Structure formats: structure tokens, C-alpha cells
Amino acid sequence: MNKKLLHIAYILVLLVLFIIFEIDKNTGTRVIELISPTKFVVDLNSNGISDEGETMCVPEIQTFTSNISANQNDLMKSLNLSQPDAINAGYMADEFAKEFLLNRKVKIELKPERTTDCKFADIYVNGENYTEALRSSAHAIINGKPVNPELFNQELEEAKALNLVILNRKSGKFHKLDCRYGIKSSDFLILPMAEAELQFEKCKYCIVRPEQSEKLRKKEEKTLDKSTYPEFKEVKGIKFILSDYTNHLSPHKKCNHYFCKETVNLINNTHSTLDMAVYEWSNIPEIERAIENAKARNVKIRAVYEVKPNDSVRAEMADFLSKIEEKHSDEIFENKKLTSMLMHNKFIISDNKTLLTGSMNFSRTGFSGFNANNIVIISSPELASYYTKEFEQMYGGSFHTLKKPLDSSNLFNIGGTKVNAYFSPQDKTVEKALVPLVNNAKNYIYLPVFVITHKSLTKALIDAKNRGVDVKIILDATSVRSNHTTHEVLRNAGIPLKTESFAGKVHTKSMIIDDKYVVTGSMNFSNSGENRNDENCLVIENPELAKFYKGWFEFIWKKIPDIYLKYSVRPESRYSIGSCYDGIDNDYDGKVDMADDGCR
């Protein structure tokens, strides 16, 4: 009998312990919702729902989160991360926090600090301090820097390997992390693509079409002429750099092209003053570091820049300008006509003795060699001083037709090379300088140009052809659609004119004449380039440079099929090599790559 009672008592004890365990498991202070790794809901009243006053925050530490609705711009900027990278880093941080906290019973030590929606607290799980665990993890960021940089980067690479996507739970489609259709999702989930593919549909815009683009890229690579042309030539006092854009089929922010390397070198060797005339800007990390280092050396940096009416200034340009204290835009207040004109220059003056100028915008399409451009770096205090006078006019607020002609000679001798400098609109460069050069040409005139609309220049080129001069033109594909283009007039006059057939733009504004002259600069051969916009143009008299640039022209000419002597290439299409997978809206119609009818 005693044994039976003991057995019953034993069962009752086990039952009581089980009930206590179940009650303890389902009640008490638990984390019931993770808003981010540093912000979560603790169920203080054990009712299983989020109530006012139950949101807790970790003090001092920041992390990324995969919550695409969270504003992480400042943190992304401080670490120079893209939005996809921020989501990748956030996914790993969220997973860490979920494993440590979610549905776990916790102890709370409140801090005196709080915000309107959050109490700061130290959180303990089984005696372990979550704040300290987070601080020693790969995910903690303090004062804009990872506490453990190597671990942070390692976790980021592991996240990238997962190929994360955004699942829109409402539509049942998944998207890449930078797809605008995914980012707009109100009900979303971040998960690896391998999981998403098992039961959900791919986004046609960001996944299906890029897959088609990749197939096209591989197909084009097999047939692409990968021959190259030297990308710089140096004579005494002058370095002439160009881009063989036929082998640069997508833009990027790496600094592996001479355009970028030489710009960084120029800035790094500046000791006192750096004056910059900027039409476009991209935040290239090595360029940014060079500018920050120049500021740390107490280099005085000034900028004049282009701003269009109703333009808040493009985001990366605005970021650049925020770092430059002395600057002036070309906006002429209360004068829409003047403000509609462009500050189209792209030049840098270093220490009032070295000049960098040409057709290249200070952007990723420029610095990477994606667009066909050229720049010249000239060591000449006299020429640099001449450009400084022009810069001072703009920096003082005189842009466009408000500027005055400079009162000193525009002819410079640089190590035996004659260089004439011209500025628009005051110098009337086409009429007074370029048309006379064309009229005096004896053997050939080759023009790799973005656009030709100037009627006097068009007539002079036709006259030159008619007197036996070999005139050839390579024209950018987008420019055949521009207003007032004269390319058909030139073709009808018998001048061989090819529209280029590569993804990047022929952005040069140049001529090569008689193995003697090179014309280059920012000025398009148009009425606006001559009479409205702020531009600069150089006429360089040097046989070595002229022959070098002529060789580049002939090299590109051979790569463009002869069929484009007659037909014009659609700039975003399967006929324009690389344009269907370069990530650029080549024809400005709002559609990129496979979203464009020409690519489909």
C-alpha cells in the first residue's frame, strides 16, 4: 500500500513540474518581436502582443537590418555601402539577433535614457548580456565604423554568397535586392534565392531579363573584336589620354583606367589650390579619398558646377559638394534663360600650374573608360593661369553670356607644342577657330564626335570634301535623334559617316587634321556649345599627338561595321554591342537593358 502511495505521489510531482514548466514556457518576460538587432519588443505583461512601453533598444550600438523600410542611409554612407550590401549585412545581423533573442525568456535592466518609442536596456538571456554579445559580434557598428571590421566583411561576403532576394508575399514574386519593385513591397521577406525558386515566381524585370542579358553578353563576347589600342601618348609637358571604349562594355567605380589613375595622381600631388569645374559627378572611392587627403593637407579646394532649373542636384553631386566649402553653381536667379544654359566644362587646375581638361565627365561612365573620351594633362603655369582667369569669372557668378573675353593672349608654347585655348560663349570658337582650320586642311579631317549640329562647320566640312580632303566622321548613336543634327546632310554630301555601335557613348568633341592638329575639349560642335554654354576647347599643334589620335580613329572606324555608313544604330538594342546589359538607359527613354524594346 505504501508503495502504491509513493508511486502516485511520484506521478503527481512529475505532473506539477510539467505544469510549472509549461506555464513558465508560455508566460513571463520574452522577446516576441524583432524590429531590428538593436530594437525589439519584450512581452512585459505576458499577453502575447506588443503593447505601449514594451519596445526596448540596445544602447550605443548600431547595426544594419534587412528591413527594407528602415532608413539606413547615414550608416550606408559612413561605410560606403550600397543598399544591397546593407540588406546583406542586415540579414546576417537579424539572424544573429533572432537566434539570441526571439522567443527567449529575458531579464531586463532598464537604463535612464529613452526615446518617444523606445526604452534603453541591457537584456540578459540565461545570464548572458546581449549588448556585450552584440558588441563582440561581426555586426556591431559604433561611431559609423564596425567594431570588428574583418568579421563584418567576412559576414558580408557570406551573405552575398546566399544570393538573397526580396519576396513580395502579396504578389508571390521575388526580386533582386536593388529592384525597385521589390523595395516597394509592403509585405516582404528576405531569403536566399535557392529557397525562393522552390515555390515563388521570378521578377521579369530584375531577374528574367538580366538572365537574358547574360546570355546575350556571353554570345557577344565570343564574337567581340578584343584587339586594343594604346590609351595614352606623352610629349614634353603634355599627356594625352583616351579610352578604347570597345573593350569597356559596362561602367563601374573602380579606379583601374588611366582617366581615374591620372586624376587621383593629380589631386595627390596638389599642395596649395585645386579649382574644379564640374558638370557631372560620381562618387569614385579613390577620387573621394584623394580629395579628403588634399583637405587634410590644407589644400584650398573650390568648385563651380552645373545645376539645372528645378534640379535639387543629383545625389552624388550633392554629396561631393557637401565636402567642398567654396563653391558656386551656374544658377542665375530670376533669369530662366541664363539658367537654362549649361556649365559644361570638365577641368581641374592644380596649384595654378597643371591643367586637366577634355571631354570626360567626372562620372563612372567617364572615369571607367566606358565612354569614348579624351583628356589632356598639361604642365604649364601660363596655361593654368589662363584657365584660372576663366574659373574666377564663373566663381564670381559670371556664367554663360555674362562672362567677358579674357584680355591676354590665348596662344601658349608648351615644350615646343603650340596650344590655343578658347572659351565659350565669349570666343565664338567654331566660327573663329575651327572653321578656319577646316578651310585650310589639305589632306584629311577626321572627327570622332558626340554630335554635329553647327551649320557653318557642316558647310566647311562639305566644302573640304569637295576640294579633295579626306573627311570621315564617327558619330555617337544617340545623336542621330538630336534636334538639328546635320548627319544626313553630311552623308548626302558624300562624306563617310559611321554611327558607332557600342554600349558607351562616343563622347569626344574632337578633330584630327593633317597629322598636325588635335582639337579637344568640352565643347560640342553645336550652336549651344558655341553660343550658350560654358565650354573650353584646345587646338593642339603637335604631329606626334595628331598621328597617335588618328591611329585611334582608324582603329575604331574598322571596328564599326560598314553597314553603319548608311544606317544609324539604335543606341539601346542588340545592334549596339553591350547596350543590353550595361545597366545604362542609353537612349533616355526610361527603360534599361532588356526592359527596352530594342533589346527584347
Identify whether the C-beta of residue 437 lies closer than 8 Å to the C-beta of residue 513: yes
DSSP string covering 466-498:
HTT-EEEEEE-GGGGGSTT--HHHHHHTT--EE
- The C-alpha cell at 222 is 565570343
Q: Beta partners for 234? A: 239
- Burial call 137-164: b when 16+ CB within 10 Å, e when fewer: bbbbbeeeebbbeeebeebbeebeebeb
DSSP three-state, residue 389 = helix
DSSP three-state, residue 507 = coil
Q: Is 514 a catalytic residue?
A: yes
- The C-alpha cell at 585 is 538607359
Other C-beta atoms lying within 10 Å of the C-beta of residue 509:
27
Residue 146 Cα distances to 250, 357, 532, angstroms: 31, 39, 49
Q: Which of 248, 509, 559, 582 is the catalytic position?
A: 509
Contacts of 239 (CB under 8 A, 6+ apart): 232, 233, 262, 376, 377, 378
- Note the residue count of the chain: 600
Burial of residue 470 (CB within 10 Å: 0-12, 13-18, 19+) is middle
Alpha-helix residue ranges (DSSP H) falling in 445-581: 455-466, 487-492, 527-531, 543-559
Closest C-alpha among 210, 290, 304, 223 to residue 582: 210
Kind and range of the H or E run holding 377: strand 374-379
Q: Which of 122, 319, 514, 515 is the catalytic position?
A: 514
Q: Which of 233, 498, 507, 559 is the catalytic position?
A: 507
Active site residues: 507, 509, 514
